Structure 1
Amino acid sequence: MNTTLQRCGAALLLSAALAGCVNTTSSGEVGVQRKQFILLSQQEVDSMSAQAYAQEVRKTQAAGALNTNAALTRRVRAISERLIRQTPVFRQDARSWKWEVNVANSPELNAYCMAGGKIMVYSGLAEKLALTDDELATVIGHEIAHALREHSRESMSQEYAKQAGLSIVGQLAGLSQGSMELAALATDVALTKPHSRGMESEADTIGLELMARAGYNPQASITLWQKMLKAGGGGGPAFLSTHPAGEDRIATLQRLIPKVMPLYQAAPKK
């Protein structure tokens, strides 16, 4: 590629990056306002995530491990529904997402919510840590917050830009993106790649407001993290392994709780 073309490509990539700096949610009472680097469309990422989630559901079902504990499944879905009802506070379009909530019978201390509202909770998380409904709401609210903030879309945009380099110029001109294997990337981002420190902090913060508005005690976020730290020998399970460290997260949550406590006190408790 000659120098002129390289410069033109770099300029177009920079323009796309600047145009892609957005804020995907309202700030809420907790005040999340970071601008995000977005290149891929929401429709594209939601579609790829739905495919990836359906694949994970089929895999879990084939292993005889999908929603095998009826009581836990009902509990997870009931808590999720209460949290989902509060999502329009951060973005109005979330009310029309095609939400799905399932439970995988697995000893892992894990949960995730893919783009577009595709939730999976692992039974080990609730059972091994003996989570209360409020503590389980902390986990699910955190994962829903990742979806609301479109952290998968943001991470995929970053990875896509890194993989494509200057070839992204062609993609911006409308060429096929199939070669980038976005469906595989959606799975990778949701299940294996840890979120950044900033993304984790945002999910903690938004999740705390969601649970408070849904009538779950924000103080449970502290006991949840204490259980996580104990289970992980100080570092926490892989589910929430990214920095900030557990003690730092607890301190941040403790500072935020007074801000959301009035929302909890005013919320219906069922």
Structure 2
Amino acid sequence: MSLMFRRVLPVLLVALTSVACQTVQTTHGGAVGVQRSQLMMVSAQEVEQASRQQYDEMMAEARKNKILNRDAASVQRVRRIVARLAQQSGVFRADAPAWQWEVNVLSSKELNAWCMAGGKMAIYTGLLDGLKLSDDEIAAVMGHEIAHALREHARERVSKSMATGLGISVAGALLGVGQAGQDLMGTVAKVSFELPNSREHETEADRIGVELAARAGYDPRAALSLWTKMASQSAGAPPQWLSTHPSHTSRQRDLAAYAERVMPLYQAARR
């Protein structure tokens, strides 16, 4: 422990003298009441810039490999749903509706979707078509991913990576150019696509996601059928105490409770 502390201490000192750790509230609580202070050691602008660069590179690669937006009807469907969800994002943070939202569909058997900082999104056909998602279920998926971006979970995880000495150096991150910029992009990519979210982050995204869906006029209870479908594809998953993700059982229990809480919002949106 003391050896680790000696290794991390210089990084922490640079952080404290260069950007001073910020404790922030990234979102309002909404009807679901998600309110937790977050410790940040890198600016939102730096993470958003790195995310945009990473996203552009990924979409260019997808276009080159001919896996980008191959089905116009599916792309239009997903974009329509995301547009309605994005319109409701101001409930949680005033700046979010003005983000440069972008969503694309990637042809892949992978059961995946994601939203990077600033609203750069993708959903994979393995999830969209493989699980035969309804519009309500697509809203559940994308609402969950949007919630990660609204809460700036990637920025929080990059900050944690800095603090523990497992990611880029704080001094390098502040520069945002050259090798330092590449390091930041790499770290953003790692926390976005490779490392699993914590249980806390997943629970926050679940709760905010059902509220976004409800306010946009999508049945929040679809999150339950979505995770039932996901569970059918996850045989042999580790029990909750061995995983950073909530178990399917506890996740569905929490989703059921919060979907019920936001049902009045859904009913009002449907009038």
Superposed CA deviations along residues 36-87 of structure 1, whole A, max 9, x for unmatched, are 1211111110000000000110111110010001111111101100100000
Q: 1:10 to 1:95 in 2, by over 3 A?
A: closer
Question: 1:146-225, aligned counterparts within 5 Å?
Answer: 146-163=148-165, 168=170, 179-180=179-180, 181-225=183-227
- Name the counterpart of 1:267: 269
The one-letter code of the counterpart of 1:117 is G
Q: 1:43 to 1:247 in 2, by over 3 A?
A: same
Could you say what secondary structure the match of 1:128 adopts?
coil
Q: 1:23 to 1:15 in 2, by over 3 A?
A: farther
Residue 30, structure 1, aligned to residue 59, structure 2: no
State the TM-score, normalized to the length of structure 2. 0.87
**Deviant stretches of 4+, over 6 Å:** 6-9, 14-18
Task: Judge conservation of contact 2:114–2:123 (CA < 8 Å) in 1.
Answer: yes
Task: Judge conservation of contact 2:176–2:184 (CA < 8 Å) in 1.
Answer: no
Counterpart among 78, 93, 96 of residue 95 in structure 2: 93
- Name the counterpart of 1:233: 235
Provide the rounded CA distance (Å) in 2 between the counterparts of 1:20 and 1:27. 19
Provide the rounded CA distance (Å) in 1 between the counterparts of 2:233 and 2:38. 33
Superposed CA deviations along residues 172-230 of structure 1, whole A, max 9, x for unmatched, are 9x666754410111111111111111011100010010000000001111100100000
Provide the rounded CA distance (Å) in 2 between the counterparts of 1:164 and 1:135. 36
- Name the counterpart of 2:246: 244
Superposed CA deviations along residues 77-122 of structure 1, whole A, max 9, x for unmatched, are 0110010000000001011111111000111110000000001000
- Name the counterpart of 2:260: 258
Provide the rounded CA distance (Å) in 2 between the counterparts of 1:91 and 1:66. 30
Could you say what secondary structure the match of 1:92 adopts?
coil
Q: 1:164 to 1:133 in 2, by over 3 A?
A: closer
Provide the rounded CA distance (Å) in 2 between the counterparts of 1:26 and 1:131. 30
Task: Judge conservation of contact 2:15–2:41 (CA < 8 Å) in 1.
Answer: no
Provide the rounded CA distance (Å) in 2 between the counterparts of 1:176 and 1:74. 35
Superposed CA deviations along residues 2-40 of structure 1, whole A, max 9, x for unmatched, are xxxx98985675688984221100000000011112111
Could you say what secondary structure the match of 2:164 adopts?
helix
Provide the rounded CA distance (Å) in 2 between the counterparts of 1:53 and 1:232. 28
- Name the counterpart of 2:116: 114
The alpha carbon displacement at 1:160 in A equals 2.2
Could you say what secondary structure the match of 1:267 adopts?
helix
Please list every run of 5 or more consecutive structure 2 residues that lacks an aligned counterpart in the other structure. Answer: 1-7
Task: Judge conservation of contact 2:46–2:176 (CA < 8 Å) in 1.
Answer: no
The one-letter code of the counterpart of 2:133 is L
Q: 1:135 to 1:234 in 2, by over 3 A?
A: farther
State the TM-score, normalized to the length of structure 1. 0.87
Task: Judge conservation of contact 1:17–1:37 (CA < 8 Å) in 2.
Answer: no
The alpha carbon displacement at 1:257 in A equals 1.8
Provide the rounded CA distance (Å) in 2 between the counterparts of 1:264 and 1:68. 32
Question: 1:127-146, aligned counterparts within 5 Å?
Answer: 127-146=129-148
The one-letter code of the counterpart of 1:120 is A
Which piece of structure 1 moves more, 226-235 or 244-253? 226-235
Provide the rounded CA distance (Å) in 1 between the counterparts of 2:85 and 2:148. 13
- Name the counterpart of 2:69: 67
The one-letter code of the counterpart of 2:120 is K
Please list every run of 5 or more consecutive structure 1 residues that lacks an aligned counterpart in the other structure. Answer: 1-5
The alpha carbon displacement at 1:171 in A equals 6.3
The one-letter code of the counterpart of 1:119 is M
Provide the rounded CA distance (Å) in 2 between the counterparts of 1:70 and 1:176. 36
Task: Judge conservation of contact 2:22–2:40 (CA < 8 Å) in 1.
Answer: yes
Q: Percent identity?
A: 46
- Name the counterpart of 2:5: none
Could you say what secondary structure the match of 1:152 adopts?
helix
Paired residues in the alignment total 258
